[in-house]
Amino acid sequence: MRKTFDELTTWLESHDGIAHRDDLLRAGFAIALLRSFVRDRRATLIRRVWLALPQADGHLVTAARAGGRVSCITLARRRGWWMPEAVSGGIHLHLPPTAGSARLGDAWPGVLHWAKPVMPWGAPALVGSVEDALAHIAICQPYDVALVLWESAANIEKLAGDYLRGLAWASRAARNLAAQVTGLSDSGLETLLVEPLRRAGLRVRQQIVLAGRPVDLVIGDRLVVQLDGYAFHSSSAQRSSDIAHDAQLRLRGYTVLRFSYAQVVHDAANVLLTLRRAVAAGYARAV
């Protein structure tokens, strides 16, 4: 049974509005139909192989025009990794060293990562691998920002530390990050504090279960740090549960310090100073 323009449109819409010709042929759409679809101006043909609807995902269309794949912080955003607010910029694309011209023009507001892939490219695609995105983040972003993204990726993508450390990273920055990442951070907020505290010589543990629930950080033996995320306490019941848990921890001899998203992101220096003062005052030590 012959497929129709409407069926082709529906199929493309279910694939972010853009697809490779080979995938369309495998889905049962005849080459004659694809040509008619383009001639009828229902889609644009990019690099002779990508069909894109007018409403197609802009990042993917740009990747198709460049002959590359979405990567680095652009892929991080697409996959929902926790990202500091200060990270900005245009689209980041990955192109292999053998790629030809990106065909984007001198005024294109983005970043091209020309690099040998960590993961073999295989079949045509417009979104790069998690591993390649991490490799690009390592050399594209400041160390503390990169570590936040690596920790978030390890947590969300379920990447074991041993796996990351076993990959053949091309840069020293990526190897250093792989050596540090644990995947324990429940959010990027934790990472923003953990590394500076550890660099200060403090013993910091993450996601330790105390009084029946995991806590964000434990400094030393007795100082508990709880971090309220951007959308914390979505209900009064959650807030009440947090207060009750804090009380249980205090009854067990722990000091509990709770900080907001805004404090950690916008005033991290004062948060770290408060924690160092708490340690100096002996709150991290067992009585």
Q: Does the pLDDT at position 81 exceed 50?
A: yes
In the prediction, which pLDDT does 59 show?
Answer: 95
Both 215 and 264 in a single domain?
yes
User: Which of these three, 130, 148, 180, is where a domain ends?
Assistant: 180
pLDDT (mean) for 21-28: 96
Q: How far apart are the first and last CA of the chain?
A: 79
Residues 70 and 163 in one domain: yes
Distance CA 257, CA 279 (A): 12
Confidence of residue 287 (pLDDT cuts 50, 70, 90): low
Residue 234: CATH number of its domain? 3.40.960.10
- The more confidently predicted of residues 198 and 186 is 198
Residue (of 117, 271, 138, 124) closest to 196 by Cα position: 271
pLDDT band at 90 (very low <50, low <70, confident <90, very high): confident
Q: For residue range 94-133, list pLDDT tens digits in order.
A: 998 887 666 666 656 789 999 999 999 889 999 999 999 9
Phi-psi region for residue 112, left (φ > 0), alpha (ψ -120 to 50) or beta?
A: beta
Residue with tokens 């508990």: 224
* Residue count (the chain): 287
Let me know whether 51 and 74 are in one domain. Answer: no
Residue 59 makes CB contacts below 8 A (sequence gap 6+) with 70, 74, 78, 91
Paired tokens of 171? 């840069």
Rounded to whole angstroms, how far apart are CA atoms 189 and 265?
7
Q: CA-to-CA distance for 124 and 287, rounded, in angstroms?
A: 61
Structural domain contains residue 285:
no
117/163 same-domain check: yes
The whole-angstrom separation of Cα 131 and Cα 178 is 11
Same domain, 231 and 265: yes
* Within a domain: 222: yes
Q: Is residue 287 part of a domain?
A: no
Please indicate, yes or no, whether residues 147 and 71 belong to a single structural domain of this protein. yes
The structural domain count of the chain equals 3
Domain annotation covers residue 286: no
Is the same domain home to 169 and 107? yes
107 within domain boundaries: yes
Q: How far apart are CA 63 and CA 77, in angstroms?
A: 16
Percentage of the chain exceeding pLDDT 90: 74
> Which residue range(s) make up the domain with 270?
188-280
Rounded CA gap, 93 and 90, in Å?
10
- Write out pLDDT tens, residues 233-282: 456 677 888 899 999 999 999 999 999 988 998 898 999 999 999 999 99
Whole-structure pTM value: 0.84
| DSSP state letters, 111-160 | EEEE---SS---S--SB--HHHHHHHHHHHS-HHHHHHHHHHHHHHTT--
Domain boundary residue among 136, 154, 180? 180
Neighbouring C-alpha atoms within 13 Å toward the C-beta of 197: 29
Point out the domain boundary residue: 180, 212, 243.
Answer: 180
